[in-house]
């Protein structure tokens, strides 16, 4: 900056000197023209008055600044001045009388000498003034410019996260006050940023970057988003709602290949919650061999290549367990390509922070859902129980009434089930119940409801059915599948049959309990007629 200021001062001095030189030259030449013209007029007037013109001309020619005076026989109307003899003389031409013109040649040497002296003096004064001004400005301005340069350097250091580059000056007064104020500000900024950095790094594990201020801004924004995310999922009613919000967040990070896996630690069962792209492993079915699940800690193939034997591709990957204890463990598997490694590593601390906030909440909600399911589900067959039926039955009937829809109630009983318990024991009876409940689950839609009504009885509720043929096809599919199934009891293979009674709302009944009662009546009619049958309720049964 100092060089620029001194250069500007020098440029101003040079330009002003040139302008003054041009003005002086113009003024001097104008004055010279006027002087020469006046002298020429005086000579003309004298020549007009004297009698001996030749003698007077000789006297004039002997003058130092006049080279020649002569008459030429031509008529001139106006006076004129011009340079002659390669600018060494001024020629003044003026009319003398009606038939003669007076020409006077003035020597320009003296005029140029005076002009040169004036210009040299002006330049000398300008150079001396320039030197004096530059030295003076340099002496007095340098300390202030050093302060500005140090401020520039210090601010550059601040942008890199260095708050130790303070200022120093030998100046007194206001400059000293400014330096002290700046250093005080820098110290407060350092202390404040240190506290902020300490706080956010305790929440998000991040390496220091080359741009800590922008990094802090980005991290604080992410922390605010994470806090909002936590508040939202705390109020969500189910684990599915929470996972959907997490999926939205992960998609917001532009992850191209990842999967969310949920593992029930009690049942040792896994569920693929969401998958995007290719994850290059079968962790859903082989989660017990998953290194992240076994160790309950993140694994990163960029740190330890080929760390997990389940991964089948050559690319790098990261597996992050969350909610690692209790009833539920989740695994986030991220598959990386060379093009997105930098992007994923940059956002990995934020992703981990989201998972950390989610862990406790998803564990609590999963446990609550588990407890709720225990109250509404039969633990042996994992089907709904009669308590669930009591809660949902009025809603099903009301929905059907609003839509003018039909609901089929299928009451199902295992034929001669007591013989299984008496012959093979209750454990064998449990096997039969689980086998038949699994067959029923595979034969109905997700919107249909299977309930263990009691003992060996199951109630199937088929929603939004169209006609008797559709209902019969479902019932017959279940009946024939059970009849054909080999049930393994120790070393024995047994076969069982079922009887089914069907009641249809609103064709046969107007309320839920009435429909169940009528399906039960139809069931007993099927047993009376020899079992392994399907009977639809009629009023004459």
> Do 83 and 64 reside in the same domain of the chain?
yes
> Domain boundary residue among 203, 235, 263?
203
Give the pLDDT confidence score for residue 398 in this predicted structure.
Answer: 92
The mean pLDDT of 49-54, rounded to a whole number, is 76
Give the pLDDT confidence score for residue 534 in this predicted structure.
Answer: 96
> Do 226 and 352 reside in the same domain of the chain?
yes
> Do 37 and 96 reside in the same domain of the chain?
yes
Helix (H, G, I), strand (E, B) or coil at 51: coil
Give the pLDDT confidence score for residue 500 in this predicted structure.
Answer: 97
> Do 27 and 87 reside in the same domain of the chain?
yes
Does residue 127 fall inside a structural domain? Answer: no
> Do 386 and 439 reside in the same domain of the chain?
yes
Could you give the CA distance from residue 197 to residue 205 in angstroms, rounded to a whole number?
Answer: 11
Q: Which helix (H) or strand (E) holds 389?
A: helix 386-403
Contact 474, 443 (CB under 8 A): yes
Whole domain around residue 170: which residue ranges?
Answer: 161-203
> What's the Cα-to-Cα distance from 190 to each of 150, 199, 355, rounded to whole Å?
17, 14, 31
- Higher-pLDDT residue of 146 and 256 is 256
Helix (H, G, I), strand (E, B) or coil at 261: strand
> Do 347 and 471 reside in the same domain of the chain?
no
- Higher-pLDDT residue of 530 and 117 is 530
> Do 385 and 527 reside in the same domain of the chain?
yes
> Do 82 and 69 reside in the same domain of the chain?
yes
> Do 517 and 399 reside in the same domain of the chain?
yes
- Higher-pLDDT residue of 160 and 266 is 266
Does residue 73 fall inside a structural domain? Answer: yes
> Do 484 and 520 reside in the same domain of the chain?
yes
pLDDT band at 439 (very low <50, low <70, confident <90, very high): very high
Does residue 191 fall inside a structural domain? Answer: yes
> Do 294 and 172 reside in the same domain of the chain?
no
456 a catalytic residue: yes
Residues 6+ apart with CB under 8 A from 130: 9, 10, 13, 14
Over residues 323-369, the pLDDT tens digits come to: 766 788 899 999 998 888 888 988 898 999 999 889 889 988 888 88
Neighbours of 79 (CB within 10 A): 14
∠ CA 72-73-78 to the nearest 5 degrees? 75
Q: Average pLDDT of the chain?
A: 85
Our count of domains for the chain comes to 4
> What's the Cα-to-Cα distance from 510 to each of 110, 405, 409, 505, rounded to whole Å?
135, 12, 12, 6
Residue 385, pLDDT above cutoff 70: yes
Does residue 208 fall inside a structural domain? Answer: no
Give the pLDDT confidence score for residue 1 in this predicted structure.
Answer: 59
Does residue 432 fall inside a structural domain? Answer: yes
The mean pLDDT of 473-482, rounded to a whole number, is 96
Token pair in block for residue 274: 């969401």
Could you give the CA distance from residue 461 to residue 397 in angstroms, rounded to a whole number?
Answer: 11
Over residues 389-425, the pLDDT tens digits come to: 998 999 999 999 988 999 999 999 999 999 999 999 9
Over residues 270-291, the pLDDT tens digits come to: 889 999 988 888 888 888 888 9
Lowest-confidence pick of 81-90, 123-132, 219-228: 81-90
> Domain boundary residue among 137, 171, 203?
203
> Do 276 and 308 reside in the same domain of the chain?
yes
Give the pLDDT confidence score for residue 87 in this predicted structure.
Answer: 62
The residue to which tokens 């909610």 are assigned: 323
Q: Which of 284, 357, 363, 456 is catalytic?
A: 456
- Higher-pLDDT residue of 26 and 279 is 279
Give the pLDDT confidence score for residue 206 in this predicted structure.
Answer: 65
Q: DSSP letters of 263-291?
A: EETTTTEEEEEEEES--SS-TTT-GGG-H
């Amino acid at each position: 900056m100092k060089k620029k200021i001194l250069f500007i001062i020098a440029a101003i001095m040079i330009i002003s000197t040139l302008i003054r030189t041009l003005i002086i030259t113009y003024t001097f030449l104008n004055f010279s023209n006027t002087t020469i013209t006046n002298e020429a007029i005086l000579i003309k007037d004298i020549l007009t008055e004297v009698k001996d013109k030749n003698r007077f001309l000789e006297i004039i020619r002997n003058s130092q600044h006049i080279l020649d005076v002569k008459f030429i026989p031509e008529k001139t109307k106006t006076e004129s001045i011009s340079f002659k003899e390669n600018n060494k003389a001024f020629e003044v031409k003026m009319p003398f009388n009606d038939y003669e013109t007076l020409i006077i040649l003035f020597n320009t040497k003296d005029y140029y000498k005076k002009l040169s002296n004036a210009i040299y003096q002006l330049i000398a004064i300008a150079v001396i003034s320039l030197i004096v001004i530059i030295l003076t400005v340099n002496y007095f301005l340098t300390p202030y410019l050093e302060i500005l340069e140090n401020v520039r350097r210090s601010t550059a250091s601040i942008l890199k996260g260095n708050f130790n580059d303070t200022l120093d000056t030998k100046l007194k007064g206001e400059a000293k006050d400014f330096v002290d104020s700046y250093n005080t500000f820098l110290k407060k900024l350092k202390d404040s940023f240190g506290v902020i950095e300490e706080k956010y790094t305790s929440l998000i594990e991040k390496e220091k970057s080359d741009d800590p201020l922008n990094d802090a801004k980005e991290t604080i924004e992410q922390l605010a988003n994470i806090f909002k995310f936590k508040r939202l999922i705390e109020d969500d009613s189910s684990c599915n709602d929470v996972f959907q919000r997490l999926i939205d967040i992960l998609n917001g990070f532009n992850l191209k290949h990842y999967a969310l896996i949920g593992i029930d630690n009690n049942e040792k069962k896994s569920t693929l919650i969401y998958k995007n792209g290719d994850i290059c492993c079968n962790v859903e079915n082989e989660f017990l061999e998953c290194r992240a699940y076994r160790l309950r800690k993140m694994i990163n193939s960029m740190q330890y290549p080929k760390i997990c034997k389940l991964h089948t591709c050559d690319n790098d990957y990261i597996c992050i367990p969350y909610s690692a204890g209790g009833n539920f463990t989740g695994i986030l598997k991220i598959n990386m390509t060379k093009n997105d490694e930098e992007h994923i590593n940059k956002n990995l601390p934020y992703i981990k922070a989201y998972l950390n906030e989610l862990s406790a909440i998803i564990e609590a909600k999963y446990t609550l859902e588990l407890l709720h399911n225990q109250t509404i589900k039969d633990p042996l067959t994992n089907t709904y129980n009669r308590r669930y039926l009591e809660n949902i039955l009025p809603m099903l009937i009301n929905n059907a009434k609003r839509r003018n829809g039909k609901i089929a109630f299928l009451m199902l009983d295992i034929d001669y089930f007591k013989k299984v318990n008496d012959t093979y024991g209750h454990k064998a009876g449990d096997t039969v119940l689980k086998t038949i409940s699994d067959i029923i689950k595979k034969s109905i839609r997700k919107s249909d409801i299977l309930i263990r009504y009691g003992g060996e009885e199951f109630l199937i509720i088929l929603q939004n059915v169209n006609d008797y043929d559709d209902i019969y096809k479902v019932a017959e599919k279940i009946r024939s599948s059970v009849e054909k199934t080999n049930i393994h009891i120790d070393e024995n293979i047994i076969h069982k049959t079922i009887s089914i009674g069907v009641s249809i709302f609103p064709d046969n009944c107007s309320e839920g309990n009435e429909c169940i009662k009528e399906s039960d009546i139809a069931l007993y009619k099927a047993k009376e007629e020899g079992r392994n049958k399907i009977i639809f309720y009629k009023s004459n049964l």
